Amino acid sequence: MLVRKIKCPSCGANKVNEITTGFIFCDYCSTFMGYDFKNMQDEASSVYDMDYFQKHGSWPPDTQAYMTVLQEIGTAVANENAELYLENIVKMHELEMKLFPKRFAPKLKMSKYRDQMVEFYRHFWKERLEKGYFEEQKQTQQMFAELQANITTETVNYKPVWVYDEKLEAYFDAVFAYSKEMAEKVSSYDCLEYYPEPINNAYTEMVLKQSINGYASYLDEETFNKVLDHLGLKTEYIEIPEVNTTEQNCFGCGAQISVPEGSEKMICEYCGSTNNIQAAGVVCLNCGGNVSPDEARENNKCSFCGAILRIMDFH
């Protein structure tokens, strides 16, 4: 069978199930394996609804709110207003959770997880501001502005699109190098203790890929894939022996998941619950307790802390 060329850093298994979110988890031990760039890019493209824009003369409300917040962030940077910047950058991330859910772990559907992410972003940007973010931005913006001025732009369906050539390659080489430097710098930040996901060697990859993902609206699909190929981020596939899978309902939300033979733990990509396959239980996201499937189905809550386990609305 043809699968992604990606191995779990914990157990060494290949990813065998289809990836439906921007996060990739091991099908055998539930370890976080990395990010799905294509899912994120497709999602970003869908947010900017050109049909809606042409019909109404504006973006959909949530998209417009997002763009307004981005303008406020630009004003805050220009005036070096740390308070205004922090207020709006947190608003931006809250809107991103609504507009771009695939950029976040499936647990985003849990209100506690969303609150944890907001708290992380608040501490992250506070720490960056304290470490001289505005001065750093002056230097990087000047560098990127000079490179961006050389990019050829065409208008396609009323939308500016960048043209692929050596100047565009130079621009993304600079973006990639800067993002890599930032990923290494951020890896030592104190605020990472607030991040609600395990931090491993995939964190740097996340920062690198998300830095390119932000430019998706300026690139058509062909150009976007050329940029990925140039930067060495293009998805590769390998052939592996066929894997036997069985269908099972998630003990947390009831959604159907495909369990490969030999799996011990699986993350449900609908609700974020960790299903203990061999133990036939579900790990509560609130307290970490292992709840039996009968208790989850009958009581719809964790027997240890009372947290709700069954989630029926995935929209």
Extents of the domains making up the chain: 2-238, 245-299
Cα–Cα distance measured from residue 57 to residue 29, given in angstroms and rounded to the nearest whole number = 49
Which of residues 105 and 314 earns the better pLDDT score? Answer: 105
Q: What tokens were used for 171? A: 């621009």
Across the chain, what does the average pLDDT equal? 83
The better pLDDT of the pair 302, 136 is held by 136
Which is higher by pLDDT, 93 or 301? 93
Q: How far is CA 49 from CA 45, 138, 224, 282, in A?
A: 8, 32, 18, 39
Q: For the chain, what percent of residues have pLDDT higher than 90?
A: 33
Residue 315: the pLDDT is 28
Two structure tokens written together for 213: 């993902």
Give the residue among 288, 286, 307, 287 at the shortest CA–CA distance from 296. 307
pLDDT tens, 9-39? 889 899 999 888 888 889 999 988 877 777 7
* pLDDT at residue 312 greater than cutoff 50: no
75-91 confidence digits (pLDDT tens): 999 999 999 999 999 99
Q: What residues pair up with 256 in beta bridges, in sequence order? A: 249
How would residue 258 be classed by pLDDT, with cut points 50, 70 and 90?
very high
- pLDDT number for residue 285: 67
What whole-number distance in Å separates Cα of residue 31 and Cα of residue 44? 26
Rounded CA-CA distance 205/200 in Å is 10
- In this prediction, residue 105 has a pLDDT band, given cuts at 50, 70 and 90, of confident
Q: Summarize the confidence of residues 159-171 as an average pLDDT.
A: 90
**Between 209 and 242, residue with greater pLDDT:** 242
Helical residues (DSSP H) of the chain, grouped into ranges = 37-47, 50-56, 61-79, 82-99, 111-130, 133-148, 166-186, 202-213, 221-231, 293-299
Q: Which of 236, 234, 235, 238 is nearest to 1 (CA)?
A: 238
Q: What is the pTM of this model?
A: 0.69
CB 32, CB 23: distance < 8 Å = yes
Q: State both tokens at 185.
A: 């710098």
- Residue 279: is its pLDDT beyond 60? no
Residues 58-67: tens digit of each pLDDT: 888 999 999 9
